[in-house]
Homo-oligomer: A and B are copies of this chain.
Amino acid sequence: MNEMNVSLTPTEKKILQAATEVFLEKGRRGARMAEIARRAGINKALLHYYFRSKDRLYLMVFRLKIRQFFDEIFASLPQTDDIQEFTRQLISLYIEKLYRHNQVTQFILWELAQGGEELRHLFREALHGNQTPRVQYLVEKFRTAMERGEIARCDVVHLILTLVGASLYPFIAREVVETIYPDVQVLTPEFVEQRKQEVFRIVWNGLKPRT
């Protein structure tokens, strides 16, 4: 689950591993090259030999993780034509990925806190690049269902904001949530399953055709 891309030398892998850890814990600015070197079992000079600067190293780590995350999601989009089932599986997939790629949610948090510039960059790239068909597939799916009257006409943007916000929040605010509700353990299969069901229930309530 933690492998970096193959076709990297063992040293590069060690560095990326260590860098990931430190950037996650301390953030882009708070991270220290010396600590990354220490955890990778090498020295600072070698970091610069391989990645030239702290900034380049950060971008390498960050983009690798985020791309991997979204690639996995788009690679396994549900195929069913039943829009209710599609929605259920989509939410389940998204929350499952948030759960399994916990590092990614942490990176997203850091990025958002800094203004999200790198995230915007990646999104623009994805939207203008070869990800476009996959993104459009999603939008088309809902648009078609809406035209067919299989789901209610509604503001799709707000619905997506609700879906993403409700899914993401427990993972990014994990420590706080677990403090306020001591019997909640976010990173457990049980909680994740409950969350999938709850988000689907609430989103589908907002989608299903008015009767």
B-contacting residues of A (Cβ < 8 Å)? Answer: 26-27, 29-30, 106, 109-110, 112-117, 119-120, 123-124, 127, 155, 157-159, 161-162, 164-170, 172-173, 175-177, 179-181, 184, 194-195, 198-199, 201-203, 205-206
Contacts and interface: CB of A to CB of B under 8 A. Distances in A.
A123 B179 contact: yes
A74 to B, nearest CB: 15
Given A161-B169, A166-B162, A168-B169, A112 B109 contact: yes
A111 to B, nearest CB: 8
Contacts of A175: 112, 115-117, 119-120
A55 to B, nearest CB: 13
Given A27-B29, A120-B176, A123-B176, A158 B198 contact: yes
A112 B108 CA distance: 11
Nearest to A27: B113
B155 A161 contact: no
